[in-house]
Structure 1
Amino acid sequence: MEPDFWLKKWQKKDIGFHLGDANPMLVAHFKELALPKDSRVFVPLCGKTLDIAWLLSQGFRVAGAELSEIAIRQLFEELGVEPAISEIGDLILYSAEGIDIFVGDIFDLTPGILGPVDAIYDRAALVALPQEMRPRYTAHLREITKTAPQFLISFDYDQSVMDGPPFCVKEEEIRRHYGEAYELTLVDSLEVAGGLKGQCPATENVWLLKP
């Protein structure tokens, strides 16, 4: 899947994946990570998700990575915050108090550029990537965050009925990517109301990954 796929979605405002509220699974279960206030949470492929506003409202700091600069301009507009904008290598950093969003290719993000991370919130990154890209992504995520604990949301459905994104990422694949580095716990599992995109039955799963 080429970067242009996502860039064109933002340009065309084809963003049905953008939720109008903070993710209910996040609100219900993020406390399971038992993070102290002021912890820094990394949100890969974040878009302009309202989950960021929720995390900030809970006293966390947020770092994010996103391909589309359109999304991040809208994010800061909707937060009502004026960002400082700078260039770091091939990335553009949008920054304000408590929030740093790196715009560009997530694979250009290094541990030194990202800085310390206390936890990862992956709602829309792993499931947005096709199968052939996921091993590279998961290895890179572990590297740049130094295997920080994760709050991971995945989908399980019959991908022969509907192709992604979001893609089906089954438990065995999650364990294949992360099992050597993390202890995995399935915290919650819910049927997607009305089916995924209204097309097929699906289950939304919440995983805690602790080193």
Structure 2
Amino acid sequence: MEKAFWHQRWQEGRIGFHQDQVNVWLERFWDRLRVAPDTRVLVPLCGKSVDMLWLREQGLEVLGIDLSDIACRDFFHDQGIDVAPVTIDNYHRRERDGIVLITADMFELPWEVFRGVGAVYDRAALIALPPAMRKRYAERLVQRTPSGSPMLLVTMEFGGDAGPPFAVYENEVRELFEPAFTVIRLEAGEPEETHRGTQREVAYLLHRQ
């Protein structure tokens, strides 16, 4: 999607993709990743997700990246604190208590920003991207994650190709990430009826080779 699309969504408060509760798949499956304490977890297209607070509560460091400075600002504001951004090159950086939020295009960030990343949590990044960008996204994760690092990925499945969020099925997950990652389908949620028809979330465990 064009950057302007997401900036407008945040400016207008049209953020139906935001969840006020911790994601059920994160709570259920994170232990399967066997991530050591103090590991830095990358949360791409993080928005102001409360999942980042949950990860921090597990003793992990969090690196969230989002296009919207409103999202990064509001994450901390929702916790009752204001964190002033620091401008570094072409991006903004906010940090407080083990959580670092970067306002930038993930594809344009230098390698140094990703230094120390040892795991990835993606609930809303892959499914927010159209097909061509999904390929670039997967390639970037391959480039920026070290061997052995795990990833918890949550996708959506439904009929049609309208989005975002977009439907991403298992065959595409494998096409995008194998063989650089091993891909294990963990569990699919119960089908739900929506304005787009029947849809469900699916959780995957990936390991960087």
Of 194, 205, 209, which residue of structure 2 is paired with 1:208? 205
> Aligned runs of 1:2-13 on 2, under 5 Å?
2-13=2-13
Give the counterpart letter for 1:37 in structure 2.
P
Residue 150 of structure 1: aligned partner: 151
Matches within 5 A, 1:122-201: 122-146=122-146, 148-159=149-160, 163-195=162-194, 198-201=195-198
Cα drift, residue 203 of structure 1? 2.0
Give 5+ residue unaligned stretches, structure 1: none
How large is the RMSD of aligned CA atoms in angstroms?
Answer: 1.4
Per-residue Cα deviation, 1:131-189 (whole angstroms, up to 9, x for no partner):
121111110122122353210001111115xx111101111111111111111111111
Identity of aligned residues (%): 36
Correspondence list, 1:1-211, <5 A: 1-83=1-83, 85-146=85-146, 148-159=149-160, 163-195=162-194, 198-211=195-208
> Secondary structure in 1 aligned to 2:153?
strand
Task: Point out 4+ residue stretches in structure 1 off by more than 4 angstroms.
Answer: none
1:145 and 1:79 map into 2 onto residues whose CA distance is 29
| Cα shift at 1:207 | 0.3
User: Could you tell me how far apart the structure 2 residues matched to 1:119 and 1:169 are?
Assistant: 21
Asked if 1 retains the 8 angstrom alpha-carbon contact of 2:158 and 2:196, the reply is no
| Structure 2: runs of 5 or more not aligned | none
Q: CA deviation at 1:82?
A: 4.1
Farther-moved stretch of structure 1 (151-160 vs 68-77):
151-160
Q: Distance in 1 between matches of 2:57 and 2:107?
A: 29
CA–CA distance in 1 between the matches of 2:192 and 2:59? Answer: 31
Q: Which whole-Å CA distance do the structure 2 matches of 1:56 and 1:80 have between them? A: 17
Aligned-pair distance for 1:9? 0.4
Normalised by the length of structure 2, the TM-score is 0.93
Aligned-partner residue type, residue 159 of structure 1? G
Contact in 2 for aligned 1:91/1:108 (Cα 8 Å): no
Deviation larger for 88-97 or 16-25: 88-97
Instruction: State the aligned residue count.
Output: 207
Give, in angstroms, the shift of residue 192 of structure 1: 4.2
TM-superposed deviation, 1:40: 1.1
SS at match of 1:169: coil
